[in-house]
Amino acid sequence: MDNELTVIGSELPVLQAKGTYKYLKEITGNGAYYQVAWQKLADGYIALYGTTHNLGSLGKSRLRETLALR
């Protein structure tokens, strides 16, 4: 995904590393996963998936962090 506007508009965090989250190809067919973040790559962004997330910690501060990564 290279559409930065879509990434920012999603209000999901943008991470530098994948961490414990999964790429779509790793979880295909498992309905327990949903998109929880984006990973910034040199040539764009890739969606990250997990089974849980903490929406309370995202808020506006995470959006500011996301914008700062640009």
Say whether 1 sits in a helix, a strand or coil: coil
Asked whether the whole model's pTM tops 0.75, one would answer no
Tens digit of each residue's pLDDT (9 = 90 or more) over 50-60: 987 554 444 44
The answer to whether 16 touches 29, Cβ cutoff 8 Å, is: no
Tens digit of each residue's pLDDT (9 = 90 or more) over 2-61: 688 888 888 898 999 999 999 999 998 877 888 999 999 998 999 999 987 554 444 445
Report the C-alpha gap between 60 and 11 in whole angstroms.
9
